[in-house]
Chain A
Amino acid sequence: MERNLLKYIWRHSRSKQIWIFIVVLAAMPVYFLMLQLPKLIVNGPIQAVGFETPEATQPFLSISLPFTQYFTDQQIMLFDGFQLQRPSMLVVLCISFLLAVALNGWFKLYINTYKGKLGESLLRRLRYELFDRVLRYPIGKIRQVKPSEISSVIKDEVEPLGEFFGDAFSAPVFLGAQALTGMTFLFLQNTMFGAITLGIVVFQAWIIPRLRRRLLELGRRRQRAARRLSGRIGEYVQGMDDVHLHGVTNRARANIWNILRGILATRFELYQRKFFVKFINNFLIQLLAFIFYLLGGYLVITGRMDLGALVASIAAYKDLPAPIKGIIDWDQQRLMNQIRYEQAVEDFAETEIVPYERQVATDQVLPHIKEGYKLSNITVVDSSDQPVIESFSATLSPREAVAIVGGNDSGAEQVAEVLGRLLRARSGSITLDGNDLDSIAESQTGQRIGYADSNVFYAGGSIKATLAETLPFVGDAAPVIKNASSGADFANYENDVMVSADVDMIYDVDDPVSNPSWPDDAFWPHLLSVMQSTRLYNDVLEFGLLRTLDDEGDETIKASLLEARREFADDKSTDELSGAVEFFDPEKYNHQLTIGENLIFGTPLDAQFNPENLPSNKTMLGVLKETDLMSQLFDAGREVAENNVELFGDLTEDSMLLQRTGGPSPEQIAAMKQMLDRTSGKTVTTAPANDVTAILALAFGYSETQSRFGVLNEALQAQLLNARKKLAETLGAQGNDCVAFLDPARFNPSLTIIDNILFGRIDARRTGARDRVLNAIKKILEERNISETIFRIGLSYDIGVAGRNLTTSQAQKLKVARALLKKPDMVILNRALSALDPVERKAIIHDILSLGSEDGKRQMGVICVPVDNGPWDDFDRVILMEGGRISIDGTPEQVAPRLEMSNA
């Protein structure tokens, strides 16, 4: 990668820089004209030079052949111009001035826009190139870098370069040309003034680089500190658990504070230096003004210079400080950006990257693996140069299932890593189908070889997206790719900016991740069998059961779920489930629900009907009055309060018992006591309104199964049922749909799928009931052929940031599922599924082995570095490793005696 910023810019934007240069040159005469015209206006029409008589005329737009006066005595005129009188001349010159100003402004606009576009596209290229290098880092290197530092370099550090790219060549040319024009103009006006100005500018050019050396060092230091800051913050965020567990938040604070302090000191010194240099510059430029006014004024007073020339000189001078200051600023920027660039690309440029050919994109169907791996004399060393694998030689065919067995220091895991190209061999050769493994494109190994170990990292998103993410290729289908430049939104900016490392074709990133119909029918059976064999099917099914049917549910699914509900309700007659579920029946009081829930008997869709708002809900209170329940509920609420006070009133405030029972807090108990005192002997109509609301809240929140105070008798239950009906009627009459009522004949979209089937509450007293109910429901779904639909819904379960919504076992299973989903020719399982219990893990491995073989013929090679010690019967071959070497390699029967020995 190019280390010199200007060279990098030149190489990638040469033609554009030249175009800007041309435009800048074209703008010069206009600029010159803009400076020249005021002088002509003042000297000509205003001061009447050449208009001595009222009838006098002067030529306008006369064109002469340049330099001809030096060869002949007379200038050769090409066009004599228009003869104009004094007022006409004033108007014409002023209009010309206006035109020159406008044209000059237009040039500036064009140049700035062009520069902006150039800078941004070059920034895009640089960022892309840096990320491309990250993708091509060897695995060993990428494991050593801090993620947040990499993102800090690519995102933040190179950002300011974007503004500089456009100015890199055009600014010095533009400003230089301006300054040169200004200087020339000044020289033409007055040689002495020109010489003085030149002297000062040369002095500036000499002094400033000397002042700036320290500035550059500070710039470097600032960048390193900023990168360290982002690295440290990233580390703290990732390792936040330990920060809290060890109580070292203050150490973290101190650490970051120190870095911040250092950055402030550096930045402040930087500011001081920068403004000091600016001060010197401004002073030197203003010194010129001083000389101009003093010397020029003196010369005019003494009559050795005409006033028009001085005004023109001063006007010319006035346009000089800006370009000169601009050039100095540009040079400063150039140096700072050169440092920024060097620092940013340093690490990227120094790292050896894998050749581009290995990652080249293809839309071809890739060849299957026929012969498999051949390893001869492989030696791998660890970071301290100690051998972990020595003289390993073996062939591993896609027609066999091989177990590479060995303890943690046996080198078995490293063999798997070498096969997966996650680890490089120090010496020896590895071929895949006769080709050097290093020379094989990643697209081929990516499609034909599955690899899973126990490390899991997911970016987040749904299970479906996580599965699809690694699937540009499946089986014998060609990779889905599209033309990179086909994005219509970007067409304007594409031009020639794609980097060599880029390809004209990129994988279609929108497909299949966001494709709602994925997985399609053809792929579905394969996905199901993979999910079944990795034992993820049940987990995903349960995720699906816990979701609500948003828009995904069409009427047929709802109808089948309703049938499942009916079937499950009929199933209650079986002994296992008898009485375990109290079903939602509009005609019956449900003891698992609170009084409030029993009254509304549905899910609130409007916050007004949320449990906490019921005691103040007008509709609800109206219904209660109508059904004569107010005083009864008031009494019930008081009874609940009395029971609470009786139970907990004597307990000390810090009582663990009080906290553990989840009962009311000591403050609530005290409030209940006061409330009981205030309402003692009063009725619902005479008690204070606030107390009535609070007491009703207690009644609404009461559930007989939870508290068992014996508040609910049969009569009250019947009255509550009556009120429930009244409320439904009232709301129905109002056309109000703020409650989704629990209707056994209707699907309730605000309940989860499982609640829609269960349509009741599991009796909390029955410990094993939940599992039994779940199994019964799954069985019904299976029989009705809707479990696949629910599984599909479960696929959209959000796995959370870094997969945190999954258990470690689920995450590890998902990793194996991803490896199998692409229908690989060979799958490598490197201590995969380590978090699972041995029984389940062995069953999954067994299933994977049988998944890969049809009619006793092996279709998919399996290389397994197992977590468990056997059984090996499923494998065709076992390689036992000890101390980095193969100690025996043969069929399970041949290896068995030796295995027993090593286990003992």
Chain B
Amino acid sequence: MSTLKDDVAMLRRVALFSSVDPSKLKLIAYTASQRVFEDGEMVFEKDSNGTSAYLIVRGEAEILVESGGKQVVVAVHGRNALFGEISAFCDVPRTAGVRARGQLSVLELKRENLMELIHEFPEVAVEVIRELARRLATTTSDLAHVLDSKETPD
């Protein structure tokens, strides 16, 4: 069983929270709930209306996308990975399904708690914006890269 201290240490390793003040991280950890999923159990289905983000404490999670009526594993996340944060920050249905591979322990971060935290401590928001912007920049450059490689046939 992990204590708050362990959870805080783990949160700090997540890019999104890396520069948030440790005492705030402790609050985030406290408001998060620990969840355990058995092998093959769905954490959430695609298109469901979840509002939580999850941080993997132990075990692995498979990201599933439907393709031709079949569930296809497109990625596997391991320890310290964060998933589900898109739905946690904005009102969109889950873009993919997530399933436990082996026993999976996660920290569930609820949207209302994240939002409240941002409301209460605006410096958290700055960190979140910074991280999201960094990701957007990465995605944009990735996209440009893909488009470039498409436009220039060999």
Question: Is the pair A657, B3 in contact by a Cβ cutoff of 8 Å?
Answer: no
Contact partner, A647, options B1, B3, B26, Cβ 8 Å: B26
Complex-state Cα separation, A579 to B39, whole angstroms:
13
Complex contact A709–B4 (CB within 8 A) = yes
B120 touches A651 (CB 8 A): yes
Q: Which chain A residue lies CB-closest to B110?
A: A660
A470 at interface (Cβ–Cβ under 8 A)?
no
Chain A 630-668, CB-CB to B under 8 Å as 1, else 0, gives 000000000000010011101110011100110100000
A: residues with CB less than 8 A from B are 575-576, 578-579, 591, 643, 646-648, 650-652, 655-657, 660-661, 663, 704-705, 707-710, 763, 765-768
Nearest CB on B from A571, distance (A): 15
CB nearest neighbor in A for B34: A765
Q: In the complex, which of the residues B3, B26, B30, B36 contacts A661, with contact meaning CB atoms closer than 8 Å?
A: B30
Contact of A575 among B5, B31, B35, B39 (CB under 8 A): B39
Does A647 contact B30, Cβ atoms closer than 8 Å?
A: yes
A575 to B29, CA, bound (A): 29
Taking a contact as CB atoms under 8 Å apart, the answer to whether A763 and B36 are in contact is yes
Is B113 in contact with A705, judged by CB distance below 8 angstroms? no
**Known pairs A657-B113, A704-B1, A707-B30 / 8 extra A-B pairs, C-beta < 8 Å:** A591-B1, A643-B4, A648-B27, A656-B112, A663-B30, A708-B29, A765-B35, A766-B35
Shortest distance from the beta carbon of A433 to any chain B beta carbon, whole Å: 55
Among A652, A704, A767, residue most surrounded by chain B Cβ atoms (within 10 Å): A767
A714 to nearest B CB, angstroms?
12
Complex Cα distance, B41 from A768, in Å, reads 9
Return the CB mask of B107-137 against A: 1 if under 8 Å, else 0: 0000011001101100000000000000000
- 8 Å CB contacts to A: which residues of B13-56? 23, 26-27, 29-31, 33-39, 41
- The answer, among B1, B7, B37, B117, for a CB contact under 8 Å with A767, is B37
Q: Please tell me if B149 contacts chain A, counting CB pairs below 8 Å.
A: no
B4 engages A710 (CB within 8 Å): yes
Question: In the complex, are the beta carbons of A660 and B116 less than 8 A apart?
Answer: yes
Q: Which residues of A contact B5 (CB under 8 A)?
A: 710
B2 CB-CB contact with A under 8 Å: yes
Report the minimum CB–CB distance from B41 to chain A (whole Å): 6
Chain A hits for B23, CB < 8 A: 646-647, 650
Residues of B within 8 A of A578 (CB): 38
B36:A766 contact, CB within 8 angstroms: yes
Interchain CA distance A765-B33 in the complex, whole Å: 7
Q: How far is the CA of A768 from the CA of B38 in the complex (A)?
A: 9
Contact A652 B26 (CB under 8 A): no
- Pick the residue among A575, A660, A663, A765 that contacts B112 (CB under 8 A): A660
Complex: chain A residue closest to B40, CB-CB: A575
Chain A nearest CB, measured from B60 CB (Å): 17
Residues of A contacting B2 in the complex (Cβ-Cβ under 8 angstroms):
708
Give Cα distance in the complex from A705 to B30, angstroms: 11
Interface CB pairs A-B, < 8 A, 13: A575-B39, A591-B1, A647-B30, A650-B23, A660-B113, A661-B30, A663-B30, A705-B1, A707-B4, A709-B4, A710-B4, A766-B38, A768-B41
By a CB distance below 8 angstroms, the chain B residues around A576 are: 38
Closest to A579 in B: B36
Interface residues on B, range: 20 to 34
Q: A643 — which chain B residues lie within 8 A by C-beta?
A: 4
Nearest-neighbour CB distance to chain B for A655, whole angstroms, equals: 6
Contact with A along B60-101 (1 / 0, CB 8 A): 000000000000000000000000000000000000000000
Q: How far is the CA of A447 from the CA of B38 in the complex (A)?
A: 52
B35 → chain A closest CB, angstroms: 5
Chain B residues within an 8 Å CB radius of A763:
36
The answer to whether A661 touches B7 (Cβ under 8 A) is no
* Bound Cα distance from A643 to B113, whole angstroms: 19
On chain A, the residues within 8 Å of B4 by CB distance are 643, 707-710
Given contacts A650-B23, A708-B4, contact A765 B31 (CB under 8 A): no
Residues of A within 8 A of B33 (CB): 765
**Sorted from nearest, which 7 A-B pairs have the closest CB atoms?**
A710-B3, A657-B116, A765-B34, A765-B36, A708-B4, A766-B36, A656-B116
Interface on B for A, CB 8 Å cutoff?
A: 1-5, 7, 23, 26-27, 29-31, 33-39, 41, 105, 112-113, 116-117, 119-120
Q: B3's contact among A646, A708, A766, by CB below 8 Å, is which?
A: A708
User: In this complex, which of A579, A648, A663, A765 has the most chain B Cβ atoms within 10 angstroms of its Cβ?
Assistant: A765
Report the separation of the CA atoms of residues A660 and B30 in the bound assembly, to the nearest whole angstrom. 12
Interface centre among B4, B34, B35, B38 (most CB of A within 10 A): B38
How far apart sit A652 and B119, CA to CA, in the bound complex (Å)?
Answer: 11
Q: Report chain B residues within 8 Å CB of A651.
A: 120
Identify the closest chain A residue to B26 (Cβ). Answer: A647
Could you tell me the distance between the alpha carbons of A709 and B120 in the complex, rounded to whole angstroms? Answer: 23
Contact residues in A for B27 (Cβ distance below 8 Å)? 647-648, 657
A835 to chain B, nearest CB (A): 23
Q: In the complex, which of the residues A652, A705, A710, A768 contacts B120, with contact meaning CB atoms closer than 8 Å?
A: A652
Q: What is the minimal beta-carbon distance from B11 to any residue of chain A, in angstroms? A: 13
Cβ contact within 8 Å between B30 and A575? no
Query: What chain A residues lie within 8 Å of B36 (beta carbons)?
Result: 579, 763, 765-766
Q: How far, in whole Å, are A760 and B126 apart by their CA atoms in the complex?
A: 45
- Which residues from A are CB-within-8-Å of B117? 657
Q: How far is the CA of A765 from the CA of B34 in the complex (A)?
A: 5
Q: How far is the CA of A657 from the CA of B114 in the complex (A)?
A: 9
Note all chain B residues with C-beta closer than 8 A to A704.
Answer: 1, 3
Q: List the B side residues contacting A707 at CB < 8 Å.
A: 4, 30
Q: How far is the CA of A660 from the CA of B32 in the complex (A)?
A: 11
Instruction: Say which residue of B7, B39, B113, B119 sits within 8 Å of A708 (CB atoms).
Output: B7
Whether the pair A657, B38 counts as a contact (CB closer than 8 A) is no
**A655 and B120 alpha carbons, distance in the complex (Å):** 8
Neighbouring B residues of A660 by C-beta, 8 Å: 31, 112-113, 116
Give chain A nearest CB distance to B17 CB in angstroms: 16
Closest CB of chain B to A24's CB: distance in Å? 84
Q: Tell me which residues across on chain A come within 8 A of B30, comparing CB atoms.
A: 647, 661, 663, 707-708
Residues of B within 8 A of A767 (CB): 35, 37
* Chain B nearest Cβ from A251, distance in angstroms: 36
CB distance from B31 to the nearest CB of A (A): 5
Bound-complex Cα distance A648 to B24 (A): 10
CB of B1, distance to nearest CB on chain A (Å): 7
Closest A residue to B119 using CB positions:
A656
Which A residues lie within 8 Å of B1 (CB)? Answer: 591, 704-705, 708
Q: Contact at A575–B38, with CB atoms within 8 Å?
A: yes
* Smallest beta-carbon distance B121→chain A, Å: 8
Q: Which residues of A contact B3 (CB under 8 A)?
A: 704, 708-710
Chain B residue numbers with a CB within 8 Å of A655 are 116, 120
Distance A576 CA – B103 CA, assembled complex (angstroms): 11
A598 CB to nearest chain B CB (Å): 15
A660–B4 CA distance with the chains assembled, in angstroms? 18
Instruction: Give every chain A residue within 8 A of B7 (Cβ-Cβ).
Output: 708
Interfacial chain A residues near B41, Cβ < 8 Å: 768
Residue of A nearest to B31 (CB): A661
Report the minimum CB–CB distance from B154 to chain A (whole Å).
Answer: 50
Min CB distance A592 to B, Å, is 11
Q: Give every chain B residue within 8 A of A646 (Cβ-Cβ).
A: 23, 26
The interface residues of chain B lying within 8 Å CB-to-CB of A657 are: 27, 31, 113, 116-117, 120
Bound CA–CA A656/B119 (angstroms)? 10
Which of chain B's residues have a CB closer than 8 A to the CB of A647? 23, 26-27, 30
Contacts of A575 in B (CB 8 A): 38-39
Task: Return A282 CB to nearest CB of chain B, in Å.
Answer: 78
CA distance A576 to B27 in the complex (A): 33
Chain A contacts of B105 at CB under 8 A?
765
Give Cα A792–Cα B101 distance, bound, in whole angstroms. Answer: 42
The residue on B at minimum CB distance from A659 is: B116
Q: State how many angstroms separate the Cβ of B87 from the closest Cβ of chain A.
A: 17
CA distance A656 to B113 in the complex (A): 9
Complex Cα distance, B117 from A695, in Å, reads 29
Q: How far is the CB of A160 from chain B (nearest CB, A)?
A: 62
Chain B residue with the shortest CB-CB distance to A643: B4
- What chain A residues lie within 8 Å of B112 (beta carbons)? 656, 660
Closest to A763 in B: B36
